[in-house]
């Protein structure tokens, strides 16, 4: 199973809980279930009911969910393929192929001191969980941008400054024996929330606004993050941008079917790390330890997309310790991966039916995720780093 983690960082009121509720609730709409190849299921039934309730409150009563205060929660979702396309023992049955952990936390922890040692321990534990993610979103509140038109740097500097200072204060608690982290979110996407409030601002204009107003602060933030992580050359901070809106909000109505960017959460969590990690490993920008970590994490995606054999060949042609070690790691993976690759088309007969069906569905889903990212780029919703 592909296991991906995403962390969403944002101040209180920036829209994290609304986004999470919109993400899950929209997947429960009958029309969306019908056209999707998979079910999105909450591992915790109680969490799923709560998020769905939030969504229905927005949809039917124009009620915005209450913010999550002083309590960090991790929501885990399973992509369960429907099984309609499967044959043999899987026919008509659903099965798991991807798990997404979405780490939610109180935005107040960036803005205020904690109440005491117990809350401080919870904050440190939460940040450790957040920093084990594959992708991080830094939310820029569209309402606060609107409140500071012409002087956006006042808000943006405060946002990035609070974030940077929180990390500096927690650094000693986050690092074990002072050692930099090998597992770390290396892709930090700057995300505009409540983009429906700024309809004339596409992702390119948003990127230009942020870089013009707080480019220096982004560089400072990258430096702080680089101090936490091993192989800091493999780090993208403020190089990817996305605009998001959980719904169209107007007085007395919330149109939940008018979302922007929220449906990119799964594609970004699944595809961005794979594409970026492979690029960094090929460029020799990571240590041996990190290379093994990144490539092994990309194994399932690479296999599903049918590219791991090509990746191994490229790396095998490189010289140097990192390339050698990674190539050896891939060599160990290849027998299993090649078996998966052979599961396509007419070569299914030698393979386990369940594995083959899972592989085919995962391949199709990941290919669809890639297409979703490409469409988002074409529609000026997403800008991906080319570095």
Task: Examine the pLDDT at 260 and tell me if it is beyond 50.
Answer: yes
The percentage of residues in the chain with a pLDDT greater than 90, rounded to a whole number, is 42
Choice between 212 and 335, residue whose per-residue pLDDT is larger: 212
Choice between 387 and 166, residue whose per-residue pLDDT is larger: 166
Phi, psi of 200 (to 5 degrees): -90, 0
CA quadruple 29, 33, 35, 39: dihedral, nearest 10: 140
State residue 215's pLDDT score.
97
Whether the CB-CB separation of 83 and 92 falls below 8 Å is answered with: yes
Report the C-alpha gap between 13 and 114 in whole angstroms.
18
The answer for residues whose C-beta is within 8 angstroms of residue 172's C-beta and 6 or more apart is: 178
Phi, psi of 98 (to 5 degrees): -150, 145
Q: CA triplet 302, 304, 306: central angle to 5 degrees?
A: 65
Phi, psi of 323 (to 5 degrees): -60, -40
Tokens of 210: 């942020």
Tokens of 175: 């690092």
Report the C-alpha gap between 337 and 335 in whole angstroms.
6
Task: Examine the pLDDT at 15 and tell me if it is beyond 80.
Answer: yes
What is the rounded average pLDDT of the residues 239-258?
A: 94
Q: How many CB atoms lie within 10 A of CB 45?
A: 9
Q: What is the mean pLDDT of the chain?
A: 81
What is the rounded average pLDDT of the residues 341-369?
A: 57
Report the C-alpha gap between 42 and 171 in whole angstroms.
32
Tokens of 330: 């891939």
- pLDDT category at 3 given cuts 50, 70, 90 is confident
What is the rounded average pLDDT of the residues 217-245?
A: 94
15 in helix, strand or coil? coil
Choice between 99 and 380, residue whose per-residue pLDDT is larger: 380
The answer for residues whose C-beta is within 8 angstroms of residue 54's C-beta and 6 or more apart is: 17, 18, 21, 25, 65
pLDDT digits (tens, 9 = 90+) for 302-330: 666 655 445 555 444 444 444 554 555 55
pLDDT digits (tens, 9 = 90+) for 147-201: 999 999 999 999 999 889 988 988 888 888 888 888 888 999 999 999 999 999 9
pLDDT digits (tens, 9 = 90+) for 103-135: 877 666 666 666 777 777 877 887 888 888 889
pTM: 0.82
């Amino acid at each position: 199973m592909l296991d991906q983690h995403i962390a969403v960082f944002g101040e209180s009121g920036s829209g994290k809980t609304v986004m999470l509720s919109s993400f899950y609730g929209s997947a429960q709409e009958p029309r969306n279930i019908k056209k999707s190849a998979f079910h999105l299921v909450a591992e915790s039934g109680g969490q799923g009911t709560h998020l769905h309730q939030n969504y229905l409150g927005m949809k039917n009563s124009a009620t915005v969910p209450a913010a999550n205060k002083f309590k960090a929660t991790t929501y885990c979702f399973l992509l369960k393929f429907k099984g309609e396309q499967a044959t043999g023992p899987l026919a008509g049955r659903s099965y798991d192929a991807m798990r997404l952990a979405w780490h939610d936390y109180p935005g107040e922890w960036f803005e205020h001191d904690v109440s005491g040692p117990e809350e401080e321990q919870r904050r440190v534990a939460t940040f450790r969980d957040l920093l084990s993610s594959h992708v991080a979103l830094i939310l820029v509140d569209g309402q606060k941008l609107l409140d500071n038109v012409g002087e956006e740097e006042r808000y943006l500097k405060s946002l990035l400054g609070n974030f940077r200072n929180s990390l500096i204060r927690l650094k000693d608690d986050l690092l074990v024996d002072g050692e930099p982290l090998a597992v770390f979110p290396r892709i930090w996407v700057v995300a505009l929330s409540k983009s429906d409030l700024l309809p004339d601002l596409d992702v390119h204009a948003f990127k230009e606004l942020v870089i013009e107003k707080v480019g220096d602060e982004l560089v400072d933030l990258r430096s702080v993050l680089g101090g936490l992580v091993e192989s800091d050359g493999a780090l993208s901070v403020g190089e990817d941008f996305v605009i998001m809106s959980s719904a169209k909000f107007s007085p007395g109505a919330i149109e939940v079917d008018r979302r922007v960017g929220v449906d990119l959460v799964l594609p970004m969590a699944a595809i961005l790390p794979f594409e970026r990690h492979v690029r960094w490993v090929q460029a020799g920008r990571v240590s041996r330890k990190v290379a093994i970590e990144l490539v092994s994490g990309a194994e399932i995606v690479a296999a599903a997309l049918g590219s791991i054999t090509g990746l191994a060949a490229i790396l095998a042609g490189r010289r140097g310790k990192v390339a050698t070690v990674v190539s050896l790691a891939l060599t160990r993976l290849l027998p299993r991966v090649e078996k998966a690759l052979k599961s396509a088309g007419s070569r299914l007969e030698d393979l386990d039916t369940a594995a083959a069906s899972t592989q085919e569905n995962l391949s199709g889903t990941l290919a669809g995720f890639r297409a979703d990212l490409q469409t988002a780029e074409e529609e000026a919703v997403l800008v991906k780093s080319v570095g």
